[in-house]
């Protein structure tokens, strides 16, 4: 938060932090393993850390009050960092995640109703069908790649929810899956690059990403034409029909494409990752898994969960929240200072890059007791009131909080419940979980799991 006191703020170069290596600072560690780096320097230096990165004035925030300032600021002091936005533009265009200023405010007004809680709840049959298809797919399987399976489940769900499962979208499932993966890998490459050559030069990897973006856009464009002829009220139709409540203006065709592509990428990748980690954690904590199974057996009795059932599945919901605490899909959120500001007693300059890190925040002993322990009871009703609003930020916060929060907290727990009541999922021994940075956490290794049917 800004600091108003009688003591003069200290200069930004006095902010504590690691020394790093000559010339490169912590750039190498940031590229190799940002998760360990963020955990270690937060533990060593506190909730405001200076990151020595060549050519940048970069600071890591994990103190909830500092995060509150960074995410809630509406005075023009804090903004989205333009260099970061440029790195995800090929995939997301000018969608809600990347747009700024009046463009963002206008589009948020238009799109907010599309993701309102009551509309999202209409996806209940779609979520149930995705869980049922996954259960059917796993029958007779002994071993699966859990990361790929969760991605497939979520992609099928997004196709149905976005396009009403139209024959065209279904027929091009493999094309969409391939193109989304190429775009995600390209954005990850740019996001973590010390010097993003592919952002400026017509390299083969950039040209390939552009080709796959055009392919996705062609498919979405065909879907828009199909919707115009009269289709179901899916998310794509709602984006086309949405109007600004203040001006009556609609999204342009290119804006609809950007928002639909953003919904594709953000809607399936982040929840797929959360489900992977939920099953991973239950595999590693048998007592918690048994408690989930007992709750599912008692409430569902073998049927697929409904939206109304979630209120009767408190422990399953706690498991999902604890998963998002330990493994937040959006592990870092970028902000920048448009003007000088005082944070934590230090005067930071205009242009300073602020890395708000859910990963570091959720795993800091300053914010959570025994933070690396898997403990779903942290989110029990009697304990929720003690959690600082900005100590748990898997969806960000403030005006730019993820618009898909309600959707993620509906489809994630429903899918977990629908699948976990039918199968136990266990890590194959001898694996090492390996994670990669990017816009979202990327699971690089340790994805082989055994599946065992529960009961008859």
Per-residue pLDDT tens over the stretch 282-301: 999 999 999 999 999 999 99
Instruction: With CA atoms as reference, report the closest residue to 95 among 77, 110, 81.
Output: 110
Of 179-188, 196-205, 277-286, 327-336, the range with the highest mean pLDDT is 277-286
Instruction: Please state, in angstroms and rounded to a whole number, the distance separating the CA atoms of residues 340 and 342.
Output: 7
Per-residue pLDDT tens over the stretch 300-358: 999 999 999 999 999 999 999 999 999 999 899 999 999 999 999 999 999 999 999 99
The confidence band for 40, taking pLDDT boundaries of 50, 70 and 90, is very high
Per-residue pLDDT tens over the stretch 44-103: 999 999 999 888 899 999 999 999 999 986 668 998 887 777 888 888 888 888 888 888
Per-residue pLDDT tens over the stretch 386-433: 999 999 999 999 888 888 899 999 999 999 999 999 999 999 999 999
Q: Is 292 helix (H, G, I), strand (E, B) or coil?
A: helix
What residues have CB less than 8 Å from 52, skipping those under 6 apart? 17, 18, 19, 20, 25, 26
Instruction: With CA atoms as reference, report the closest residue to 354 among 87, 24, 7, 47.
Output: 47
Max Cα–Cα distance, the chain, nearest Å: 70
User: Domain-by-domain residue ranges, the chain?
Assistant: 1-92+331-368+376-393
Compute φ and ψ for 307, nearest 5 degrees: -60, -45
Q: Record the tokens describing residue 151, joined without a space.
A: 């991605």
Exposure of 313 by Cβ count < 10 A (0-12 exposed, 13-18 middle, 19+ buried)?
buried
Instruction: Please state, in angstroms and rounded to a whole number, the distance separating the CA atoms of residues 131 and 299.
Output: 17
69 neighbors 337 (Cβ within 8 angstroms): no
The confidence band for 3, taking pLDDT boundaries of 50, 70 and 90, is very low
Instruction: Please state, in angstroms and rounded to a whole number, the distance separating the CA atoms of residues 306 and 316.
Output: 14
Per-residue pLDDT tens over the stretch 349-381: 999 999 999 999 999 999 999 999 999 999 999
Exposure of 222 by Cβ count < 10 A (0-12 exposed, 13-18 middle, 19+ buried)?
middle
The confidence band for 146, taking pLDDT boundaries of 50, 70 and 90, is very high
Compute φ and ψ for 15, nearest 5 degrees: -60, 130
Q: Is the pLDDT of residue 228 over 60?
A: no
Q: Is 449 helix (H, G, I), strand (E, B) or coil?
A: strand
Say yes or no: domain 1-92+331-368+376-393 is CATH 1.10.630.10: yes
Q: What pLDDT, on the 0 to 100 scale, is given for residue 190?
A: 80
**Stated pTM of the model:** 0.92
Higher local confidence (pLDDT), 199 or 139:
139
Instruction: Please state, in angstroms and rounded to a whole number, the distance separating the CA atoms of residues 344 and 79.
Output: 19
Exposure of 362 by Cβ count < 10 A (0-12 exposed, 13-18 middle, 19+ buried)?
buried
Q: Is 160 helix (H, G, I), strand (E, B) or coil?
A: helix
Q: Is the pLDDT of residue 1 over 50?
A: no
């Amino acid at each position: 938060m800004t600091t108003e006191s009688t003591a003069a703020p200290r200069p930004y170069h006095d902010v504590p932090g690691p020394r790093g290596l000559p010339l490169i600072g912590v750039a190498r560690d940031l590229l190799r393993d940002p998760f360990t780096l963020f955990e270690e320097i937060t533990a060593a230096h506190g909730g405001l850390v200076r990151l020595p990165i060549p050519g940048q004035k970069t600071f890591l925030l994990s103190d909830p009050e500092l995060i509150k300032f960074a995410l809630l600021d509406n005075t023009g002091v804090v903004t989205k960092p333009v260099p970061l936005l440029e790195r995800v533009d090929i995939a997301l265009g000018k969608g809600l995640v990347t747009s700024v200023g009046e463009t963002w405010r206008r589009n948020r007004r238009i799109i907010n109703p599309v993701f309102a809680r009551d509309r999202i709840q209409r996806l209940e049959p779609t979520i149930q069908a995705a869980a049922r298809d996954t259960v059917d797919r796993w029958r007779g399987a002994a071993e699966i790649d859990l990361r790929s399976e969760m991605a497939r489940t979520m992609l099928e769900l997004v196709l149905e929810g976005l396009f009403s499962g139209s024959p065209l979208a279904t027929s091009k499932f493999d094309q969409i899956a391939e193109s989304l993966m190429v775009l995600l890998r390209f954005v990850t490459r740019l996001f973590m690059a010390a010097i993003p050559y592919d952002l400026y030069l017509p390299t083969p990897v950039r040209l390939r990403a552009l080709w796959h973006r055009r392919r996705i856009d062609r498919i979405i464009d065909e879907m828009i034409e199909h919707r115009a002829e009269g289709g179901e009220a899916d998310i794509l139709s709602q984006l086309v029909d949405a109007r600004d409540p203040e001006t009556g203006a609609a999204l342009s065709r290119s804006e609809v494409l950007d928002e639909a592509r953003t919904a594709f990428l953000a809607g399936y990748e982040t929840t797929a990752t959360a489900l992977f980690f939920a099953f991973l954690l239950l595999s590693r904590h048998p007592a918690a898994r048994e408690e989930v199974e007992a709750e599912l057996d008692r409430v569902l009795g073998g049927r697929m969960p409904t939206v109304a059932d979630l209120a009767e599945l408190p422990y399953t919901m706690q498991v999902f929240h604890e998963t998002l605490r330990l493994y937040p899909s959006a592990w870092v959120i970028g902000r920048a200072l448009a003007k000088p500001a005082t944070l934590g007693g230090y005067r930071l300059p205009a242009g300073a890059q602020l890395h708000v890190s859910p990963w570091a925040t959720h795993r800091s002993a300053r914010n959570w007791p025994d933070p690396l322990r898997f403990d779903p009871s942290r989110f029990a009703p009697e304990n929720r009131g003690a959690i600082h609003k900005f100590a748990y930020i898997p969806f960000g916060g403030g005006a730019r909080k993820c618009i898909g929060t309600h959707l993620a907290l509906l489809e994630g727990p429903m899918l977990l419940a629908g699948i976990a009541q039918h199968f136990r999922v266990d890590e194959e021994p001898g694996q090492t979980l390996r994670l990669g940075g990017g816009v979202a956490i990327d699971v690089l290794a340790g994805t082989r799991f055994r599946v065992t049917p529960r009961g008859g």
